[in-house]
Amino acid sequence: MSNFLTKKLAIFLLKEKYTTFDSTLKSNFITKYKLKDDIENEGLVVIGHEKKKEPEWKYLLQTICKDEIPDLNNSSNRAVLFFKSEERIFAICFGYGKYLLRDECIEREFGLKTALNIIDADKLISVDKANIGDLNLLTKTQASQKGSPYHFEIDILRDLVKGITGEPKNTSDKLFGKIITGNEAIHIVPRVKLRNVPKILKELRTSYLSDDYKERFDWIDNIKPEKDPATLEKLKTRLLKAINSKESSSLHLAPPFLIDWENFEYLSYTPKGDKFNQFDIKHFYLYKFQDDFVFDDWDKLTYQNFYIKFSTYEEAFSYKLWRFLNFETELNGFRYIFTSSNWYKINKDYYNEIYQYCSSIEESESVFIDCIQNEDGKYDEGFYNIQLANSKADYLLFDRKFVKSDINRSQIEVCDVYNVSNNELIHIKFRESSSTLSHLFSQGKVSANSLQKDKTYRKNIRTILKDNRNLIPIENKDIHPYNYTITYAIIEDKQRKFVDSLPFFSLVNFRLTLEDLLSRGFNIRVKKILKK
């Protein structure tokens, strides 16, 4: 048997402050094995104790079986090979070995940045992206042939690249193999013996520190990891304050990796607690903030677990809650976002360009009333829409009037209020979470798209418009987007401009919505409605 590696290695770089192997481990259920004396680099092999457990479904099936089902056991294997190279610790994980490492010790940008410096930018195979808009949309794009970033439709305005796979620039080099993947770790298949891997680790660290990526991937620096310790401490304090005050407008939960929803069963905030089927920060608040509990320091937050159960495994895996947090704030004139376990600083020029673009949209000339409480003493969107529609003879209520469309599977809400005097479709939402604003922008975009392209949709709108049906022609050739205005209105209790009420995630989303609608010829307006 050849001594050369034929197995892909998943290599993690651990943060500089972790100087011992033991300090990076989160489990004591392990066995340690020293390396051979003739291996030059300091290292250690750690094997996690094998876990065996009868599957839950055995008991379920037994309830309907006549004969006894025999004993069944599933096991999960995990191992980590540690090496020290130039005073930094690298961890090579086998099986479920990553779960032996403390989450907070991993240098999260190592794998991606190293891969970007090594891979040929015109020979990409797949790209993992996180859309930093309101929904933190994760996508994996894979091509049948190698291609450039252009072929993978990377949106440099809002896509945060999380993983990349491609061919290295020097394909004859045996150090890295023919295909490289970079995410939190770098994944390579080097044509060397395992004992010689430390030489590769030295080369990987050199690549990690390089700025070669800027030649083809310079836009990645629009959103750069923040590394200044003093700034990070201030940002952590901001995030803790937001959690302790149960903030939900600038803070939400979202998985930092692709969820296998087909096999997803539930998540829970305790090993045996209530089971939820969605990631909602409000559920966590209800569970955690009882009595006088607060997160009074960052370590307390990083120790907070929650649990996700997949049908493919017999036990729920524990995850650190902080890795699922998404937050944004402003500090010293800069915008910062916390996502995928990292703090990112938004490039000022990048932010200002988006802000100025969105600021160019004029305010609606329609007359809006203030938002007041309903008879139950509550602020209600439906109640406001009725009040607004009744305030002017030219306003028609469209809220909750869903219209069938041939180009969309679900029925569409045309708008909330239709101003027939100037063909203005007004969409209204309370300024709550980023996901609420995302729904607002999506509603206007989907409605406008169907209005422009779908004959059936227009026929159905005409039945609601009745005497004003001629505002919406039936035939495609008679539809001219410049005759219609799409207005986005936000209700909140703060006196500020529409654009200033948008969190960064929403601002990016709004920019892209504007580009789409304006390019198709629609007029766009905005409005801030005061909640009294």
On the question of pLDDT at 143 being above 60, the answer is: yes
Structure tokens at 331: 């500090």
Q: What is the structure's pLDDT at 137?
A: 63
Region 169-196 average pLDDT: 85
pLDDT band at 135 (very low <50, low <70, confident <90, very high): very low
Structure tokens at 401: 């009037």
Region 277-290 average pLDDT: 82
Q: What percent of the chain has pLDDT over 70?
A: 91
C-alpha–C-alpha distance, residues 123 and 146, integer Å: 5
Structure-token match 């063909």, residue found: 423
C-alpha–C-alpha distance, residues 403 and 156, integer Å: 35
Q: What is the structure's pLDDT at 478?
A: 94
On the question of pLDDT at 462 being above 60, the answer is: yes
- Report the candidate in 424, 430, 454 with the shortest Cα–Cα distance to residue 529: 430
pLDDT per residue over 75-114, tens digit each? 667 889 999 998 999 999 988 889 899 888 999 889 999 9
On the question of pLDDT at 58 being above 50, the answer is: yes
On the question of pLDDT at 131 being above 80, the answer is: no
Q: What is the structure's pLDDT at 205?
A: 95
Strand order, beta sheet including 395-397: 395-397, 417-419, 424-430, 485-492, 523-530
SS3 112: helix
Region 330-348 average pLDDT: 87
Q: What is the structure's pLDDT at 311?
A: 85
Q: What is the structure's pLDDT at 515?
A: 93
User: Which residues fall within 8 angstroms of residue 377, CB to CB, at 6 or more apart?
Assistant: none
Region 51-63 average pLDDT: 65
Q: What is the structure's pLDDT at 171?
A: 65
On the question of pLDDT at 446 being above 80, the answer is: yes
Q: What is the structure's pLDDT at 78?
A: 83
Q: What is the structure's pLDDT at 1?
A: 42
Cβ atoms of 153 and 140 within 8 Å: the answer is: no
Mean pLDDT of all residues in the chain?
A: 86
C-alpha–C-alpha distance, residues 189 and 175, integer Å: 8
- Report the candidate in 325, 329, 266, 267 with the shortest Cα–Cα distance to residue 301: 325
Q: What is the structure's pLDDT at 157?
A: 61
Radius of gyration of the chain from its Cα atoms, rounded to whole angstroms:
27
Query: Phi-psi region for residue 287, left (φ > 0), alpha (ψ -120 to 50) or beta?
Result: alpha
On the question of pLDDT at 412 being above 50, the answer is: yes
Q: Which amino acid is at 379?
A: Y
Query: Which H/E stretch holds residue 76?
Result: strand 74-76
Structure tokens at 396: 């028609």
Q: What is the structure's pLDDT at 42?
A: 92
Neighbours of 490 (CB within 10 A): 22
pLDDT band at 55 (very low <50, low <70, confident <90, very high): low
- Report the candidate in 481, 483, 363 with the shortest Cα–Cα distance to residue 420: 483
pTM of the model: 0.65
C-alpha–C-alpha distance, residues 242 and 436, integer Å: 19
Structure-token match 């295909």, residue found: 179
C-alpha–C-alpha distance, residues 208 and 517, integer Å: 41
pLDDT per residue over 340-377, tens digit each? 788 888 888 888 999 999 999 999 999 999 999 988 88
Q: Give the burial class of 259: count Cβ atoms within 10 A of its Cβ; 0-12 exposed, 13-18 middle, 19 or more buried.
A: middle
On the question of pLDDT at 281 being above 60, the answer is: yes
Structure tokens at 271: 């090993």
C-alpha–C-alpha distance, residues 425 and 471, integer Å: 12
On the question of pLDDT at 159 being above 80, the answer is: no
Domain residue ranges in the chain: 9-119+156-211, 229-346, 356-530
Q: What is the structure's pLDDT at 291?
A: 65
Region 18-36 average pLDDT: 89
Q: What percent of the chain has pLDDT over 90?
A: 44
On the question of pLDDT at 6 being above 70, the answer is: no
- Looking at 96-110, 146-160, 195-209, 347-361, which range is the least confident one? 146-160
Region 464-475 average pLDDT: 92
On the question of pLDDT at 191 being above 70, the answer is: yes
pLDDT band at 173 (very low <50, low <70, confident <90, very high): low
On the question of pLDDT at 68 being above 60, the answer is: yes
Neighbours of 71 (CB within 10 A): 7
Cβ atoms of 525 and 499 within 8 Å: the answer is: no
Region 247-269 average pLDDT: 82
